[in-house]
Amino acid sequence: MSDTPKPTQIHELGEFGLIKRLTKDFESVNESTILGVGDDAAIIRYDQKSVLVSTDLLIEYIHFDLAYVPLKHLGYKAVVVNLSDICAMNAFPQQITVSLGLSSSFPVEAIEELYEGIKLACKIYGVDLVGGDTTSSRTGLMISVTAMGSAEADKISRRNGAKVGDYVCVTGDFGAAYLGLQILEREKQVWKDNPEMKPQLDGYSYLVERQLKPEARKDVIRLFAEAGVVPNAMIDVSDGLSSDLMHICKQSGVGARLFEENIPINKQAHQVAMEEFKISPTTCALSGGEDYELLFCLSEEDFKKVDEKLDIKLVGRIVDESEGMKLFDPKGQSFDLVAQGWNHF
């Protein structure tokens, strides 16, 4: 007889019993959290600061595949991609709500594993879980996370503030998350063709981690605050460097020059793109998406304030709208930037 405990079915606990079991170990760490889970609504007080709210919906088979995404990683990522949106406004995330659409076939232990990832993200980023909802789903797992944060009104960065002459800067590197996804999809197909084969992921650790466990750049927002710098415009790169730079340019009414040789690409990503997938590393960086790094515009004066304090790369300049949005290769040839990133429909 097997010693493996029998999975707990959701109906054994009921909705409120499930919520209580999943959230019993969450503790509030922000003074702005007056009341979290357990009532009809959370109570949050921000005094004179501006409140920022962002929501993302992740749907099985559209945004993730449980064939290769561990539930703990999924819970962590679901939180982080929302916190990244708050950071992209130069603000600090403080609370989240989590809502789930669940199939009745999901055992409680599997949902607890998902919540382990949610709890880890809350701990690392110092945010409080203050509510959410659960409901049944006939189309797979659905996760909706709402993130809330605060900032002083004059410290908020939007997409529409880029100015001619600004430096275009980025954190981190680009294209690795996209390549990590291609590797996972490739190994899934190999497994489907031969279930006896084990995934061959040795040598791809950085790429796979960038896909399964991205990070929000809250550290950069803190350093901006310490340096007294507010980016003129900022966005997190979720849809690809090209698409997201175009968002800033269109909303700011400006053009941009992006220099290909300055785009940071991880060595492993460069090698895998060229040797295994036979695609341009630059294409991965421009159109891959899910990097969740920050793309921002700084005046020359502000750039000098943070250049040596932050690990950032100068990748371009903001120009007049009449010059369009161009990519310049190392030979000085220019090409029109096009939006080829993620499209939900």
Quickly list DSSP for 40-89: SS-EE--TTSEEEEEEEEEEBTTTB-TTTS-HHHHHHHHHHHHHHHHHTT
| 167-336 maps to CATH 3.90.650.10 | yes
How large is the average pLDDT for residues 140-163? 92
Token pair listed for 27:
């503790």
Q: Is the C-alpha dihedral spanning 16, 18, 24, 26 positive or negative?
A: negative
| pLDDT number for residue 105 | 83
| H or E element in which residue 33 lies | strand 33-35
82-91, 124-133, 197-206, 318-327: which has the minimum mean pLDDT? 197-206
Residue 344, classified by CB atoms within 10 Å of its CB into exposed (0-12), middle (13-18) or buried (19+), is exposed
| pLDDT number for residue 344 | 46
| Domains in the chain: boundaries | 10-155, 167-336
The reply to whether 10-155 and 167-336 are identical in fold is no
Q: Is the pLDDT of residue 1 over 80?
A: no
Non-local (6+) Cβ contacts of 223 within 8 A are 306, 309, 310
- Listed residue (153, 166, 124, 136) closest to 252, CA to CA: 166
- Distance (Å, whole) CA 165 – CA 181: 36
Q: Is the pLDDT of residue 39 over 60?
A: no
How large is the average pLDDT for residues 166-188? 96
Q: Is the pLDDT of residue 80 over 60?
A: yes
How does residue 11 score in pLDDT terms, banded at 50, 70 and 90?
A: confident
Whether the model pTM is above 0.85: yes
| pLDDT number for residue 192 | 77
Note the pLDDT tens digit of each residue in 295-316.
Answer: 999 999 999 999 888 889 999 9
Note the pLDDT tens digit of each residue in 262-292.
Answer: 999 999 999 999 999 999 999 999 999 999 9
Using DSSP bridges, classify how beta strands 255-259 and 325-328 pair: parallel, antiparallel or unpaired: parallel
154-158, 161-165, 201-205, 238-242: which has the minimum mean pLDDT? 201-205
| pLDDT number for residue 193 | 77
Q: Is the pLDDT of residue 132 over 80?
A: yes
Q: Is the pLDDT of residue 46 over 60?
A: yes
- Distance (Å, whole) CA 315 – CA 263: 6
| pLDDT number for residue 345 | 37
Residue 327, classified by CB atoms within 10 Å of its CB into exposed (0-12), middle (13-18) or buried (19+), is buried
CB neighbour burial string for 287-325, b if at least 16 within 10 angstroms, e if fewer: bbbbbbbbbbbbeeebbeebeeebebbebbbbbeeeeeb
- For 172, phi and psi rounded to 5 degrees? 60, -150
Using DSSP bridges, classify how beta strands 142-151 and 167-171 pair: parallel, antiparallel or unpaired: unpaired
The whole-chain average pLDDT of the chain stands at 90
Topology (CATH) of 10-155: 60s Ribosomal Protein L30; Chain: A; (3.30.1330)
Q: How far is CA 283 from CA 178, 240, 265, 340, in A?
A: 10, 9, 11, 9
